Amino acid sequence: MPRLLRPLLSATTYTRLLHLWVPMLVVSVWLFIDPSTPWMPALFLVPLGLVPVVRRGEGVQARLMLTPGEPDPGISEAPAASWRDRLRTVLWLEVRMALGAATVFASVWLPGTAFELARCAWDVPPGGLPLLEWLPSHRALALLTPLPLLVFYGVAVGLGELITAAARRLLGPSAAERLAALEQRTEQLLERTRIARELHDSIGHALTLAVVQAGAARAAGDPEFTERALTAIEDTGRAALEDLERVLGVLREAERPLSARPTLADAGRLLESARASGAKVDAEVTGPVEAVPGPVSREGYRILQEALTNALRHAGPVPVRVRVAVTGGTLALEVRNPLPGAIPGPGRGSGLRGIRERAALLGGSAVTGPQEGDWRVRAELPLK
């Protein structure tokens, strides 16, 4: 099909035409009331456009009829939040009224012209349509009959494109709305980055514990110890599956509360998992840990989890000292364990980078590295 004829079979062409006709219904009603003031509806649009909710109604209508099926047509559905938005709405209503008047005139006059040309081709005098009283009767006029219909087709498509462009310009998102959308998109990207880091921490911790516990059970040759190790592996695996399900739910944009994430109040389970793997964990918790703000407590839990995972992964089941202290306006976390045979270089490993990144995002700091014959991870997070 020729490209120029595609709009003829497009539903959007007809919904746009209907959108242009709608304002003229108000004008038609007014002409029954007072035909001497046809400009009155356009004057009434000025106070109407200043009502904030009118912008929402016009936006919804424009999206449905001017851009049906488009996921992001660039037309806002939010009410007017500023005087600039209200003035843009007033201008939109006036433009819509003017283009609607042009559309109705073309819808009546152009098909009527085609009809009058056909009448004159059959030697019938013009029927009194404005501007056509002078047409002579002649057979050659039959050749011109399709011309007004083609012009009407072009006018209808052109005015539809014009009203759509005007809607995007005048009903499009304001600067504040675009900034809010950008901030929301940034938040989503940051959230996905955080989820990826959290998934690494949770699943990496669970796999490390499972490997260490299985190795320790095989080496011990003690049925009782093996039973405890298998139980610990099962519990750790279940916890990892819960974390994985929650993270995947967030990725599917399911509404899950942040409170579902583990906090320092759940650190006991973390320490027991490390002990079940064979590590001798000496833990000391001071201060009101339960009063730590949610974001700090959740990130503190992940830092502690990553530090224990690194200790088990690189040093094996060794004595580990854990210190958690809430003093003043700071949460201090410290994990120390004997150095393994090969000392990892500073800054290597995604886990260590994750610890430092988590601390930095909260305005705190983290130090990782060898000290006094031990490997030390220390993080300080502000509570405010």
311 within 8 A of 243, measured Cβ to Cβ: no
* Element containing residue 382 per DSSP (H, E): strand 374-382
Confidence of residue 302 (pLDDT cuts 50, 70, 90): confident
277 within 8 A of 242, measured Cβ to Cβ: no
286 within 8 A of 321, measured Cβ to Cβ: no
347: which 2 tokens?
């800054």
pLDDT at 255 over 50: no
Which of 138-156 are b and which e, b meaning 16 or more Cβ less than 10 Å from the residue's Cβ?
Answer: eeebeebbeebeeebbebb
Strands of 320-327's sheet in order across: 281-286, 320-327, 330-338, 374-382, 365-371
> What pLDDT score was predicted for residue 343?
47
> What pLDDT score was predicted for residue 308?
85
Q: What phi, psi does 261 have (nearest 5°)?
A: -75, 145
Q: How confident is the model over 220-238, as a mean pLDDT? A: 77
Q: How confident is the model over 139-167, as a mean pLDDT? A: 88
354: which 2 tokens?
């994750």
pLDDT at 354 over 50: yes
Confidence of residue 344 (pLDDT cuts 50, 70, 90): very low
C-alpha count within 13 angstroms, C-beta hemisphere, residue 220? 18
Distance CA 253, CA 287 (A): 36
Distance CA 312, CA 265 (A): 22
Q: How confident is the model over 320-326, as a mean pLDDT? A: 92
**pTM of the predicted model over 0.75:** no
**Secondary structure letter of residue 137 according to DSSP:** P
Q: How confident is the model over 150-166, as a mean pLDDT? A: 93
Which of the pair, 89 or 233, is modelled with greater confidence? 89
